Structure 1
């Protein structure tokens, strides 16, 4: 395809009769950066990728200086859009400099009506960026100064790319040879044919993207840079080149804005293709239908919207509250419990709370074969779980000598092996996918507070805590976080089914009633534990004591373990 004297290399996938999604790559990439995302979208859309001028299979303008202005890049985009989707607007997706271009396309008057939606990641509008800088310079508060300095430090490479000749020499020399290895080490990108052999030339030509646009546009940003199509902003939280704060106030420029965040580094098209494909599909489908998807209102909606979350023990208590909290944040929820009716009620409540969709599954977490089937079914029908919450558990009180072998097997099968099954089956799939995730294991303050009447229960929860610590170390290199939650005394139904070893049925019922009354008096709701669970995932926290007594007990167990042992010798108030 020819535009402005430049030959553009364009690739198409999928049925041309379907809505067209145009993927625009960044620097120093070519269209191959999108390959994993494109193949995931091709079943639902007509997918178009093109090499930006001077990159991949596209030819470079002559002379290079002045050949990469946003005006000429807009000409290229319109030529592509007119050729692949004549008379019908396209859905634009951009990464890095592809996103910088995309902001120009979606705010320029001459492209109005040609863009149905825009998904932006890892690349700001230069106009919005220019105004962002001006606002902070006009009011140089400490916070504004810190933000300017922070983004200035992240933009170190921009200054280098403005130097004459040196970037070209570096990319055509040692940097070009070492770049694939740098990406593998810093971004954990697999060596699967990306980047392509054209990288040194692409990067050398692409330096003019910065030289032709950055200084002039930042110093004189447009005043009319308002988006004329709905925009989905995807922000990688660990981006080494762009600060989250760069998008503060974006709503002023984008009336129809959907925000997403992702715990990932800069090159998300390579490291998170599943998540990007799902969000792009959801956004494009909603735009095409004319009925935008309902916006989740939960506190962490930008973080969990559209993610797949599985919660065990979801029929009641902490599990139900956690499933609903993720639903309010816009997650897709799988509610698992051996109580089929209770799981179904939670799934229905999750849909009403804001989950795009929710499903109920029946399984006993202590049954390894049942969990194998559950993992296979969930993966086949819904995909790989993004967040796993191993919450299911049972209570058992009683001294060691009164606890039978059968009691030990029952509590370890549920409280420990149930967690092991979940981590192995769902965590293993997360690791195999290679796109990160998070595992939450609900332990207990009893994991670090010994008691002479909770021997088996405390042992099972202490094992969960150490399992979580070990898995956190093992999975760290695969971007899978692991958190152990230690709730403390929380008002749930666990006391109603608690076992008391060494007593007859009447005494067991009396103890259950007494324990339930004490828990009600404590009156700590499971919703607060659910909040702690979501916060732990967002912050990637290792161990989270929730209630005041759990936090003080954790502190005391480390500061004065002898005092904790002495307390463990006391008789409980039952």
Structure 2
């Protein structure tokens, strides 16, 4: 394993191969979410990962903008793969940040693997009022916890993580992880929705999602169109949001099947 520091962020590089994978986690996880995936893929690929700002235990309280996260990703990609584009492997908020990076810097992305979050910008048009209230309920709870901070904010965050059945170690979950929700709802002109671009990837994409959850983070129209694109693929699993944790064997089988196909 090689460890780099890019813009003050510790980046782990593990494995060998001609292609580089950049793996991004979401809430309330860290780079450890990808431990089993790196174990499976490091014989074929260079696997690059880091923990999002504010998510590592003991890290400072931050609230970066989408442009700042995109800039961090660009600096990391330029450092680990200066001559070749990378493949993004994304989950949850990692999908949001990775997709936006791909829309801003398409020449630096060869392929995308998105897990359980797709065309999030369409949710307001595809979800029912009840489902929209569910989304607003848990997101505003976490945004409020971030605003409150301290021990109470930590307890609120861990309570929601238990309610959502997040597999992360509760001892490692903190209120500092909630900044994307606060940035989404109370970021003003720099809120994540206002800075986001529609997901229209120019490269092949594998989209994996779990079917056993109260709402989907993608539209059926989007997955139907994606499945028809040459080189792209959609796979549904009998799991919840954390597909790689609930069905690691199936998840990694699909990755190993799809990733070796070189993009045109």
- The TM-score with structure 1 as length reference comes to 0.40
The correspondence for 1:273, drawn from 248, 252, 260, is 248
| Counterpart pick for 1:84 among 58, 80, 96 | 80
Q: 1:205 to 1:253 in 2, by over 3 A?
A: farther
Task: Report 1:283-432 matches (<5 A).
Answer: 283-288=258-263, 290=264
- Check if 1:249 corresponds to 2:243: no
Judged with a 3 Å threshold, the aligned counterparts in structure 2 of structure 1 residues 116 and 226 are, in CA distance, closer, same or farther, namely same
- Give the counterpart of 2:66 among 65, 70, 86: 70
Displacement of 1:221: 5.6
Task: Give, in angstroms, the shift of residue 251 of structure 1.
Answer: 5.9
Deviation at 1:77, TM superposition (A): 1.2
Candidates 109, 112, 134, aligned match of 1:115: 109
The higher relative CO (CA closer than 8 Å, separation ≥ 6) is in 2
Compare the two structures and name the one with the higher helix fraction. Answer: 1
Superposition map of 1:473-488 within 5 A: none
**TM-score if structure 2 supplies the norm length?**
0.81
Secondary structure at 1:211 match in 2? helix
Q: Of 82, 93, 99, which residue of structure 2 is paired with 1:97?
A: 93
- Using a 3 Å threshold, how does the CA distance of structure 1 residues 262 and 229 change in structure 2: closer, same or farther? same
Structure with the greater alpha carbon radius of gyration: 1
Structure-2 separation of matches of 1:153 and 1:206: 20
CA distance in 2, matches of 1:221, 1:30: 23
- Whole-Å Cα distance in 1 between the matches of residues 130 and 59 of structure 2? 37
State the superposition RMSD in angstroms.
3.1
1:51/1:220 Cα in 2 relative to 1: closer, same or farther (>3 Å)?
closer
Distance 1:105 1:174 in 2: 31
The whole-number CA distance in structure 2 between the counterparts of 1:71 and 1:33 is 24
| Deviation string, structure 1 residues 370-426 (Cα, Å, up to 9, x no partner) | xxxxxxxxxxxxxxxxxxxxxxxxxxxxxxxxxxxxxxxxxxxxxxxxxxxxxxxxx
Give the CA deviation at 1:51.
0.8
Distance 1:252 1:214, change over 3 A: farther
- For residue 234 of structure 1, report the CA deviation from its aligned partner: 0.8
Question: Does the aligned pair in 1 maintain the 2:66–2:192 contact within 8 Å?
Answer: no
Deviation at 1:37, TM superposition (A): 1.5
Quote the offset at 1:250 in angstroms: 1.8
Q: Aligned in 2, Cα 1:158/1:98: closer, same or farther, shift over 3 Å?
A: same
